[in-house]
Structure 1
């Protein structure tokens, strides 16, 4: 009779800490919102926000709208990054991998390092990384060729005070006017710049250092760039991507879901359900891939480039 009571107490204790953390986060957010509303109500701040409304002017040559190729790039990037986060978490937390993979030296990709047996989860993670990097390279080349880079790279110093202004507007729940079809607000612009040109390269450079493709016998290079440094940076970068996805999706749905989804999935500034339908279908594809990423389906694919063993 005493065991159920003990289990009940243990269950309660298990949820007590998350509940307290959640309550603390809500309280901090409430205080910040009230402080932001008070601060933005001051006359001096109001005048400053008229000067810096939250959006910098783009160069006259900046393109307007989102072409269809950008929608495909967006979907592929989401598809890969979600599975990369999943597989990376499995690599970090799994104690007994379901299977192992070892490289086939007769394959197209060869390195100076001898083949090393790795977990199937790590093979999946590295394979996804390669596809994500390829997609990213295509993205960078095309935005440079089409001028789309002007929408996510700061071109004037007033982007910084405008970003502060946009942040205050978000925090005070008096959100800035959204017109992403023409121009992002400055906080969005800086966030996208940070994600594309800083966080993504950091993920790639630290991932390469931790992978089997890194030259193990390059002693001077390994001393200059130790693997411990790469590990300390790689995980926080993953957490950044998780936070970015949560905030990004929340704001997309909360600031005019139909129009925003049409921008990225329907290549249109109209307010209809077309973009939402494509987005919903893409979610089904991602969820299906999430559940299909199991040893049963991964083993035959991995065996095409190496030997898989239990």
Structure 2
């Protein structure tokens, strides 16, 4: 990529932002016209936007859902941050190599990777373990019924919920009891589609496995895996932005209590837990300086650090 390309991209951003604003206004206007029309009112009267759920679906949330939700947000933040650093493609000065001894001894020699890639693997591993525990508990306790659609009726109900969101007349569901249909489809896609796609494409693109999976190059090239992995990351970012906006815009105090305090009331408990968790994540991000990261990496492997050389100055005459 030439130096002119990033500059051209920066010049386009104001136009992209203006276009997004204009598009959002047009969507809201169109949705309000539909809602105000006779067919629109009849559609909303038939389909309220509520996701149909099987009998016996659990009501409310458990403490483990709050913990899994908070940890998922933290691990996803560090995964995206390290992934962005990798994408910037700066020449690495620190490398990590796994020690090939003990229980992790393998036939092939370990692959040396950059410290940024090591950080990305650590964040991704923690995120994947947290997700796996969440899935096990979700299916063990019956909470999967809140996430997995069990009827095709969810499709028109989701369309109704989407129309209400677009018209800025928020669906009147109670998330403590059930999600609306659009929420259910979205959460299902994030948990059961985006998550596995991110995990599988990340494994395909990892240096150690990529060198041992040459048989997949003809059908699933490494470049394709990296491209899918990159856009999956942006899908997570887009979901997070919209999710946070709607949580705050549709009854922030009550929603935060559901997600962080495991209670259905108007107390400030959920907001307090959120603020504390954000401060902890920010403190951890500030504490993970390059020297600290190298020290942590050295606990699990061999670290080679080569400080970048200072540019030479021409001799003066």
Normalised by the length of structure 2, the TM-score is: 0.90
Q: 1:153 aligned to 2:148?
A: yes
CA contact (8 A) 1:99 1:120 kept: yes
Specify the SS of the correspondent of 1:89: helix
Query: 2:33 — aligned with what?
Result: 38
Q: 1:29 aligned to 2:28?
A: no
Query: 2:88 — aligned with what?
Result: 93
Q: Aligned pair count?
A: 299
Q: Which one of 252, 262, 272 corresponds to residue 277 of structure 1?
A: 272
User: What CA distance in whole angstroms lies between the structure 2 residues aligned with 1:263 and 1:55?
Assistant: 18
Query: 2:111 — aligned with what?
Result: 116
User: What CA distance in whole angstroms lies between the structure 1 residues aligned with 2:13 and 2:213?
Assistant: 45
User: What CA distance in whole angstroms lies between the structure 2 residues aligned with 1:179 and 1:69?
Assistant: 20
Query: 1:188 — aligned with what?
Result: 183
User: What CA distance in whole angstroms lies between the structure 2 residues aligned with 1:131 and 1:76?
Assistant: 9
Specify the SS of the correspondent of 1:223: coil
- The C-alpha deviation readout for 1:59-90, integer Å capped at 9, x for no partner, is 11100001111100011111100100000000
Taking structure 1 as reference, are residues 297 and 166 closer, same or farther at Cα in structure 2, changes over 3 Å only?
same
Displacement after TM superposition at 1:92 (Å): 1.0
Displacement after TM superposition at 1:178 (Å): 3.3
Taking structure 1 as reference, are residues 185 and 111 closer, same or farther at Cα in structure 2, changes over 3 Å only?
farther
Query: 1:231 — aligned with what?
Result: 226
Does 19-28 or 271-280 show the bigger shift?
A: 19-28
Q: Which runs of 5+ in 2 are unaligned?
A: 1-7, 306-317
Displacement after TM superposition at 1:57 (Å): 2.4
Q: 1:66 aligned to 2:91?
A: no
Query: 1:125 — aligned with what?
Result: 120
User: What CA distance in whole angstroms lies between the structure 2 residues aligned with 1:54 and 1:181?
Assistant: 16
Specify the SS of the correspondent of 1:238: helix
Taking structure 1 as reference, are residues 110 and 30 closer, same or farther at Cα in structure 2, changes over 3 Å only?
farther
Alignment of 1:1-310 (within 5 A): 17-106=12-101, 108-214=103-209, 216-310=211-305
Specify the SS of the correspondent of 2:211: coil
Q: RMSD of aligned C-alpha atoms? A: 1.8
Displacement after TM superposition at 1:102 (Å): 1.2
Taking structure 1 as reference, are residues 305 and 15 closer, same or farther at Cα in structure 2, changes over 3 Å only?
closer
CA contact (8 A) 1:102 1:307 kept: yes
User: What CA distance in whole angstroms lies between the structure 2 residues aligned with 1:107 and 1:88?
Assistant: 30
| Runs of 4+ residues deviating >6 angstroms | none
- The C-alpha deviation readout for 1:190-240, integer Å capped at 9, x for no partner, is 000000000000000000011134163444344343212211210010000
Taking structure 1 as reference, are residues 112 and 129 closer, same or farther at Cα in structure 2, changes over 3 Å only?
farther
Normalised by the length of structure 1, the TM-score is: 0.91
User: What CA distance in whole angstroms lies between the structure 1 residues aligned with 2:47 and 2:295?
Assistant: 56
User: What CA distance in whole angstroms lies between the structure 1 residues aligned with 2:10 and 2:116?
Assistant: 30
Q: Which runs of 5+ in 1 are unaligned?
A: 1-12
Specify the SS of the correspondent of 2:44: helix
User: What CA distance in whole angstroms lies between the structure 1 residues aligned with 2:47 and 2:106?
Assistant: 53
CA contact (8 A) 1:113 1:216 kept: no
User: What CA distance in whole angstroms lies between the structure 2 residues aligned with 1:215 and 1:246?
Assistant: 32
Taking structure 1 as reference, are residues 96 and 67 closer, same or farther at Cα in structure 2, changes over 3 Å only?
same
